[in-house]
Structure 1
Amino acid sequence: MPRPRSLTPERIAAAALTVIDRDGLAALSMRTVAKELGLSTMALYRYVRDRGELERLVVELVLGAVDTGPPPPDASWRARVEVMVRRLRDTVGAHPSVVPLTLTHRHRSPSVLRWSETVLAILTEAGFAGGQRVIALRGLLAYVIGAIQLEHLGSLSGEGTVAVSALPPDEFPYMSETARHARNVGAEEEFIGGLTVLLRGLRPSAGPGPTRG
């Protein structure tokens, strides 16, 4: 029996993403996605092998929206890297529950590979090479992924900060005071502030190639 032409991988991915956004990553299953599509679970198996394939479809749907083209070349390398990191954060941040899937399936995602290729080209032009370039890329990925999770699962305006600010100052003087200041730091300020610190700490070793910025 031929497959319905309307049930494309994109439509299946969109249904799976709806389940994740609404009910969380733990709710993702062949059964819940089939229900979202108005199918029986067995019918969905005609289109998707297993949950792993569902996850890969979702990752590519989300990350496929990231602009992976190189930023304008007239800016410094740090400014161009910041553009790339912002693009990834803004796109994935709209679906924070998908973040763990991006870690699992990033090696199979053409969009992640293209994003990484663009960032590596910027770093290479700036003079990064070898293991230093590896660490720079991994550090940037670790920062943006961790920042998204902190923003949505442990924001500075959340209950955790309130609880820490109420700790007894005689026992936790630095934690309680810092938490009180943290309540006034917005998500954008926190993200850009942390990224600025990271980028300032990235310095290419001496070698050939321009190192603007």
Structure 2
Amino acid sequence: MPRPRSLTQDQLAAAALAVIDREGLPGLSMRAVAVELGISTMALYRYVQDRGELEALVVERVLSAVDSTPPDPAAGPWRARVTLLVDRLRDTVGAHPAVLPLTFGHRHRSPAVLRWGESVLGVLTEAGLGPEERIIALRALLAYVIGAIQQEHLGALSGAGTAAIADLPADAFPYLTEAARGARALTPDHEFHAGLTLLLTGLARG
């Protein structure tokens, strides 16, 4: 008879997520997760086949925390309700930004993200968008959220990227250097919501 399993998938996911949060995505390995769990690497293979399966468990653990409940109409017009749903996704994924690259390959399997998408499409339907407009809008919103989180957490650590652009020769890059100097005063929340407002305003005009 096979040996009974003593670890749950949630425990495996929690251990792998702890490794990623502490060491970054490059630190994720079967050995590192086994050490986190206090078992041998070979014992870990009783539960998962490979790192890819671990990655899927981590993504589902993170994304399962997304609140996909359709906002009450009392929350405001459709753009306010879409913003609320987008903020929920941003806050959840932004709490573990190193996991973000893994979501590209696994998010379509996440029941929580599917329910989130269903809620967004429901609000967009109420707003009067047609079927084609709705799917384009949903994909644009997902692309914006993912890109914005990457920019905030992974793309410009300590403002190094912005500072480097601001130091470029102004005569060769007048617009980039001016924009970079202005960006120094932006907070991540202001920048995110200003960009989201532009996107939603464009949808309203479509």
Return the offset for 1:139: 0.2
- Aligned equivalents of 1:99 and 1:125: distance in 2? 30
Q: Shift of residue 204 of structure 1?
A: 7.3
Residue 90 of structure 1 corresponds to which residue in structure 2?
Answer: 91
Change (3 A) 1:156 1:44: closer
Residue equivalent to 1:154: 155
Q: Does 1:29 align with 2:29?
A: yes
* Stretches (4+) displaced over 4 A: none
Mapping 1:62-101, distance limit 5 Å: 62-74=62-74, 75-101=76-102
Range moving further from structure 2, 108-117 or 152-161 = 152-161
Residue in 2 aligned with 1:170? 171
Question: Structure 2 CA distance, aligned partners of 1:202 and 1:20?
Answer: 36
Indicate if the aligned counterparts of 1:156 and 1:186 stay in contact, CA closer than 8 A.
Answer: no
Q: In the alignment, is residue 120 of structure 1 matched against residue 143 of structure 2?
A: no
Partner deviation per Cα, 1:36-87 (whole Å, 9 max, x = no partner)? 1111111111111222221111111111111110111132111100000000
Q: TM-score, normalised by structure 2?
A: 0.94
Following superposition, the deviation at residue 129 of structure 1 comes to 2.2
Alignment-mate amino acid for residue 114 of structure 2 = L
> What is the TM-score of this pair, normalised by structure 1?
0.91
Deviation digits for residues 142-196 of structure 1 (CA, Å, limit 9, x no counterpart) = 0000000000123485111111111111111111111111111111111011101
Structure 1 stretches lacking a partner, 5+ long? 206-213
What is the distance in 2 between the residues matched to 1:80 and 1:91? 17
Instruction: Give the superposed CA RMSD.
Output: 1.4
Matches within 5 A, 1:28-67: 28-67=28-67
Question: Highest relative contact order (Cα 8 Å, sep 6+), 1 or 2?
Answer: 1
Q: Does 1:109 align with 2:118?
A: no
Greater Cα offset, 40-49 or 154-163:
154-163
Higher helix content, 1 or 2: 2
Letter in 2 for 1:40: S
Contact 1:126 1:204 in 2 (8 A): no
Q: Show structure 2 runs of 5+ residues with no match.
A: none
Distance, in Å, in 1 between the alignment partners of 2:31 and 2:54 is 11
SS at match of 1:152: helix
Aligned length: 203
**In structure 2, distance between residues paired with 1:71 and 1:156:** 33
Percent identity reads: 66
CA contact (8 A) 1:25 1:98 kept: yes
One-letter amino acid matched to 2:5: R
